[in-house]
Amino acid sequence: MIINKNFTYLCAVNKSNKMNLPIYLDNNATTPMDPRVLDAMLPYFNQKFGNAASRNHAFGWVAEEAVDYAREQVAKIIGANEKEIIFTSGATEADNLAIKGVFEMYKDKGNHIITTTTEHKAVLDTCKHIEKLGARVTYLPVKADGLIDLKELEAAMTSETILVSIMYGNNEIGVIQPIKEIAAIAHKFGALFMTDATQAVGKIPVDVIADGIDLLAFTAHKIYGPKGVGALYVRRKGPRVKVTAQMDGGGHERGMRSGTLNVPGIVGFGKACEICMQEMESEAKRLSALRDRLQNSLLELEESYVNGNVEHRLPHVANISFKYVEGEGLMMAMKDLAVSSGSACTSASLEPSYVLKSLGLSDDLAHSSIRFGLGRFTTDEEVDYAIEVTKKSVTHLRELSPLWEMFKEGIDLDSIEWAEH
């Protein structure tokens, strides 16, 4: 049975090293839960299991207290006040609440929203949805390095613009946008600034006051917390921001998001934030050194390219294209590494990564990309192994590749008329 086979495979231990294979280098997709987070959550399942909204007995009070404490931690990691945190089921829901909530609340002020082509689908699909409800959305292109052009942003602002939504750090290429400058431009024109900071929170310092952010979405499962819980920060002062609730029924979270709170999840989220605040600085230093070592070793391969700006980038991400080798095939060769690819073959739609295409990457380079996402539990040994396996796999696949052969023969592939199919 497939499930057992996969699970057995996951448990296989490499004989020569003490590493567990496959090695997980896809921390942008999700992260393993920190054991300290799991420990913090466990009592809230069947010992302190009360509903945090039960006002009248100790079960409720204990749960409420735990939520309050977690809320403080979640607020602290982004420099916010705990009254400004709305718990949701994740960053996707937080993005939905922010964009739909602002659009509905500020309809009389305007209907124009500005975002970028490289946002996560949680933002892009929500924007597409409100376009059908009368919103006008501008999708700003990005430069070849993935950063937006601030002059283009300013030129796109109008008196009808109510929201600028630009992600803090990109999930595919790790690029960090000039958030402070973007916020300043949004405010200059009287618009709110929202950021999907899912990949940035807990990895680099994020401060809603210093950065000028009015709404911010993030989630627990990217920072070694549980899946199924996230938060939307909604500014209360200077200005006081409001969002129309998208989940009705009971008025939880100051009427902005109804539904019984996921107490164990929230406790875990709080603990994950607490740990990140303590360990972020040293972790970022360690991970960026490891990432640079991985990247620079792989760039020793001929015709390999890093995608996205390397200076303004999250410390744990490297997105690299290996020309003339296809991404899914490469991941299959690298079966002992868990990574992801911008190749069409790996997406359900057979379209290559829209983020890489937004950088202006040719289709064949987009198909040849691999995203490495290092994390708290990534070891030096694992990175060394990843380097070895990746180099071997790229070399092997190039031997199988007609494009590599043609390149080596000096044939200009752009001059060939490919047979349609």
Partner 1 sequence: MAYSDKVIDHYTNPRNVGTLDKSSHKVGTGLVGAPECGDVMRLQIQVDDNNMITDAKFKTFGCGSAIASSSLATEWLKGKSIDDAMKIDNMDIVEELALPPVKIHCSVLAEDAIKAAINDFRVKNGMEPIEAAKTHH
The helix/strand/coil state of 54 is coil
Nearer to partner 1, 61 or 354 (CB): 354
The CB-of-328 to partner 1 minimum distance in angstroms stands at 4
The CB-of-373 to partner 1 minimum distance in angstroms stands at 20
Q: Kindly tell me which residue out of 35, 238, 402, 410 binds partner 1, with binding defined by CB under 8 A.
A: 402
Evaluate whether 245 touches 258 at the Cβ level (below 8 Å): yes
Evaluate whether 167 touches 118 at the Cβ level (below 8 Å): yes
Annotation marks residue 345 as catalytic: yes
Kindly state whether residue 7 participates in binding partner 1, applying the rule CB under 8 A: no
Evaluate whether 313 touches 175 at the Cβ level (below 8 Å): yes
The helix/strand/coil state of 147 is coil
Q: Which of 378, 218, 172, 170 is nearest to 283 (CA)?
A: 378
Rounded Cα distance between 238 and 251, Å, is: 24
Indicate which residue of 11, 127, 273, 345 is catalytic.
Answer: 345
Q: Kindly tell me which residue out of 55, 151, 240, 421 binds partner 1, with binding defined by CB under 8 A.
A: 421
Kindly state whether residue 100 participates in binding partner 1, applying the rule CB under 8 A: no
Nearer to partner 1, 18 or 421 (CB): 421
Sign of the four-CA dihedral 51, 57, 61, 62: negative
Amino acid at 376: R
Q: Kindly tell me which residue out of 202, 225, 352, 373 binds partner 1, with binding defined by CB under 8 A.
A: 352
Cβ atoms < 10 Å from Cβ of 48: 17
Kindly state whether residue 403 participates in binding partner 1, applying the rule CB under 8 A: yes
Q: How far does Cα 305 stand from its chain's mean position?
A: 22
Rounded Cα distance between 148 and 316, Å, is: 21
- Within 299-379, where are the H helices? 327-333, 354-358, 363-367
Kindly state whether residue 395 participates in binding partner 1, applying the rule CB under 8 A: no
Evaluate whether 337 touches 23 at the Cβ level (below 8 Å): yes
Segment lying near partner 1 (by CB under 8 A), choices 148-156, 237-245, 339-347, 386-394: 339-347
Applying CB under 8 A, the site for partner 1 has a residue count of 33
Nearer to partner 1, 110 or 342 (CB): 342
Kindly state whether residue 412 participates in binding partner 1, applying the rule CB under 8 A: no
Question: Binding marks (x or -) toward partner 1, 275..314, rule CB under 8 A?
Answer: ----------------------------------------
Question: Over the Cα atoms of the chain, what is R_g?
Answer: 23
Kindly state whether residue 367 participates in binding partner 1, applying the rule CB under 8 A: yes
Kindly state whether residue 328 participates in binding partner 1, applying the rule CB under 8 A: yes
Kindly state whether residue 326 participates in binding partner 1, applying the rule CB under 8 A: yes
Residues in 20-79 that interact with partner 1 by CB under 8 A? none
Mark residue 206 as left, alpha or beta (left: phi above 0; alpha: psi -120 to 50; beta: remaining): beta
Q: Kindly tell me which residue out of 4, 5, 11, 151 binds partner 1, with binding defined by CB under 8 A.
A: 5
Q: Kindly tell me which residue out of 108, 300, 311, 399 binds partner 1, with binding defined by CB under 8 A.
A: 399
Q: Which of 211, 170, 177, 215 is nearest to 194 (CA)?
A: 215
Nearer to partner 1, 211 or 326 (CB): 326
Amino acid at 312: H
Q: Kindly tell me which residue out of 344, 359, 370, 374 binds partner 1, with binding defined by CB under 8 A.
A: 344
Nearer to partner 1, 6 or 20 (CB): 6
Nearer to partner 1, 13 or 350 (CB): 350
Segment lying near partner 1 (by CB under 8 A), choices 72-80, 240-248, 255-263, 322-330: 322-330
Residue 294 corresponds to which tokens in the numbers above?
């991985």
Question: Which residues is 195 bridged to in the sheet?
Answer: 216
Q: Kindly tell me which residue out of 219, 343, 378, 390 binds partner 1, with binding defined by CB under 8 A.
A: 343
- The set of long-range contacts for 80-85, using a CB threshold of 8 Å and a minimum separation of 24, is 80/208, 80/209, 80/216, 80/233, 80/235, 81/236, 83/236, 83/254, 84/208, 84/233, 84/234, 84/235, 84/236, 85/231, 85/232, 85/233
Nearer to partner 1, 3 or 13 (CB): 3
Nearer to partner 1, 297 or 395 (CB): 395
Kindly state whether residue 383 participates in binding partner 1, applying the rule CB under 8 A: no
The helix/strand/coil state of 233 is strand
Kindly state whether residue 420 participates in binding partner 1, applying the rule CB under 8 A: yes
Segment lying near partner 1 (by CB under 8 A), choices 61-69, 163-171, 175-183, 396-404: 396-404
Active site residues: 345
Which residues sit at the interface with partner 1, rule CB under 8 A?
2, 5-6, 324-329, 332-333, 343-345, 348, 350, 352, 362-364, 367, 399-405, 413, 418-421
